[in-house]
Homo-oligomer: A and B are copies of this chain.
Amino acid sequence: MKFAKIPMATISRLSIYTRTLQELLEEEVDVISSERLAKQCAVNPAQIRKDLAYFGEFGVRGVGYRVGDLLNQIKEILGLNRPWNLGMVGIGNLGSALIRHANFIRHGYNFTAAFDVDPQKVGRRLPNGLMISHLEELDEVVKEREVHIGVITTPSSAAQSVANQLVLAGINGILNFAPIQIQVPNCCHVENVDFTIKLDSIAYHLSSTA
């Protein structure tokens, strides 16, 4: 089943489903149909069933999905049944805000390393107790703290070089907030969070419909 080609969009939606299922679980809903789940996630019901079908059969015909079970299985699929260690590179406004941001921890992501080049910052501790290391020590610290995923919040100009360093240190997953397309070998998976693109997209829609 791992060899079937899973659409990226399916993976993203699985992530959305987990959030909604989590809520449903907290509301003590036991069972849910693809139709109701779809409405809450703003997708098509058949889409949900197709997405799940890539990985097996998780529902009961005529009944629906057991919320707790489905949640666990999707978490298993996504690899969320274990903690992931994050290393943040670039401790500016955005970087430190993200480290303090609650959403990461709640989902099993922990920052275990932070890097910068500014001598004013290196050696200091973040509010959560994490010490800022110098970028030069990246390789060493990444291995020591078992960082699995690199988060880049440096200026664009530094992003590619940081990515190279992360890859050399053995990192295979990068979350890139710098508005630039970074190039990495195939072994490494990059996801971009680029709100400038999103804003431009809004600007386009506002201009072309007005």
Contact = CB atoms under 8 A, between A and B. Distances in A.
Chain A's interface: helix, strand, loop or mixed, by majority? helix
Q: Number of contact residues on A: which range applies?
A: 35 or more
Chain multiplicity (copies) = 2
B199 A18 contact: no
A206 B200 CA distance: 31
A63 interface: no
Interface of A: 2, 8, 11-12, 14-16, 18-19, 40-42, 77-80, 84, 93-94, 96-98, 100-101, 103-104, 107, 109, 148-149, 172-175, 177, 179-181, 183, 189, 191-193, 195-209
Q: Which 6 A-B pairs have the closest CB atoms?
A: A79-B207, A97-B97, A15-B200, A191-B198, A173-B202, A93-B97
